[in-house]
Amino acid sequence: MNWRVAVVGVGAVGTEMIRLLHARKFPMASLKVLARRARTEVIDGISYDVRTATPEEFDDVDIAFFAGTEGEKGASQTLGWEAVRRGAIVIDNGDDFRMDPRVPLVVPEINAEALQHHQGFIANPNCSTIIALMPLAPLHRAARLRRFIACTYQAVSGTGSAAIRELETQVRAWAVGEPMTHQVYPHQIAFNVLPSVGSFKDPSGESTEEQKMRRETHKILGVSDIQITTTCVRVPVFNGHSVAIHAEFEQPITPERAREILRNTPGVELVDDPTNAVYPMPIWASGRYEVLVGRIRRDPSFEHGLALWCSGDNIWKGAAQNAIQIAEELIARGWLRR
C-alpha cells in the first residue's frame, strides 16, 4: 500500500524529511507540503507547491510529519490532534507532546514496541537524546545503567537554517577582517563555544535541553531511577552533534564487551581506533544514517564505569530520519492502517 503523506514545515528538518522520504523510497501515493504561508519551494531541483497548513488539509492524509521547531514552531500544538481527528497518524519532531502520557516517545531501534498502542500521535525524542541513547540503550540492556554524565557538542543546524547562515556569515567576515555580527545566538558562535542550549527557566540552573536528556531517557528506556547529569554546549560546527558519555552500570562490563555489543547494534557503527586517529567526528557523521561510536574505555571514577564518545547527524537520525523510521516501523508491524 502507498500512503498519502504530508510534511508540515520546510525549514532545516522539513527539507531533509522531504529528501529522505525520496532517498529511502518511502511508499508514498502523494506528498503534500504544508507551512504557515503558501509559496513554492525548490528542493534538489524539484518544485513543491507549499500550501497553507489548515485543519482541512489533513482530510486526505494518512501520515503527517511535523518538522518541529525548525520553521513551524507550534504547528503540532494547533494542528496535531486535529490532524489525528481527521484520520492522520502524526509523527511530531517538536517537543510539545514528548512527555504527554498519551504519546509514545520512540527511537525505533530502542523501543519500537511502544508504538503498538499509539493513539494516532507519536513523538520524536530530542536530537541529542537520540544520539546518546543509540549506544547507551544496548549497553543498558546488557549491564543496566545506574547513572551517566553526558556533555553534548551540538551543531548550529540544531537551531535551524538561520543559525547555519549566521555561522557561515561570521566565518566569511573573519576571513576578510570584517566585524562579526550575531542575531540568532546571544554571542558570536564562530571560533567560540556557548554553554547554553535551550533556555534557563528552572532555578536548578539546568537548561531546558539538559532536562530533556534526563526526562526523555527515563521515558524511552521505561525506567526512572537512572541518575543523569548533562551539560549542553553549542559549537561552531554546521551539522552533526557529538556527545561525551561517562556511564556507570550495575553489572561489570568491559570495553571489549561494549565494543562487541555495539558492533552488532543496528543503527550504530563502531569507529574506535584512536591510535590511528580513527574516532567519531561530526564531519564523518553528517549525512550518515548511523550514529558513530568510539573512544570506548574504562572509566575508573565508577565501579563499573565506561567512557565513550559518539557523533550523529542531528538533522537525520536526530530528527527527520528517526521520524521516517517510526513510520516505516508502523508499516512493517502492521500498526498503520488506512
> Same domain, yes or no, for 114 and 189?
no
Domain boundaries, position 9? 3-124+319-332
> Same domain, yes or no, for 196 and 279?
yes
- DSSP H helices, 1-74, are 12-23, 69-72
> Same domain, yes or no, for 249 and 167?
yes
Residue 72's pLDDT band (boundaries 50, 70, 90)? very low
| Exposed / middle / buried, residue 304 (Cβ in 10 Å: 0-12, 13-18, 19+) | middle
Residue 337: the pLDDT is 72
Residue 209: the pLDDT is 96
Residue 338: the pLDDT is 64
> Same domain, yes or no, for 142 and 283?
yes
Residue 338 domain-assigned (yes or no): no
Q: Given the DSSP bridges, would you call strands 145-154 and 89-92 parallel, antiparallel or unpaired?
A: unpaired
Sequence-distant (6+) residues with CB within 8 A of 156 are 163, 164, 166, 167, 189, 234, 236, 237, 238
Query: What's the N-to-C CA distance of the chain in angstroms?
Result: 9
CATH code: domain of residue 59 = 3.40.50.720
- The grid coordinates listed for 326 are 517510526
Query: Could you list the active site residues?
Result: 127, 241
Residue 1: the pLDDT is 83
- Lowest mean per-residue pLDDT among 63-72, 113-122, 241-250, 293-302: 63-72
Does residue 73 surpass a pLDDT of 60?
no
Distance CA 301, CA 38 (A): 56
Residue 69: the pLDDT is 56
Element spanning 297, H or E: strand 291-298
> Same domain, yes or no, for 210 and 185?
yes
Distance CA 13, CA 161 (A): 9
Domains in the chain: how many in total?
Answer: 2
Beta strands across the sheet bearing 39-43: 39-43, 46-52, 28-35, 3-8, 63-66, 89-92, 121-123
> Same domain, yes or no, for 190 and 271?
yes
> Same domain, yes or no, for 118 and 187?
no
CA distances from 208 to 16, 41, 139, 196 (A): 25, 32, 26, 10
CA distances from 122 to 69, 75, 97, 115, 151 (A): 16, 15, 9, 8, 27
Does residue 319 surpass a pLDDT of 90?
yes
pLDDT digits (tens, 9 = 90+) for 81-104: 999 999 999 999 999 999 999 999
% of the chain exceeding 70 in pLDDT: 98
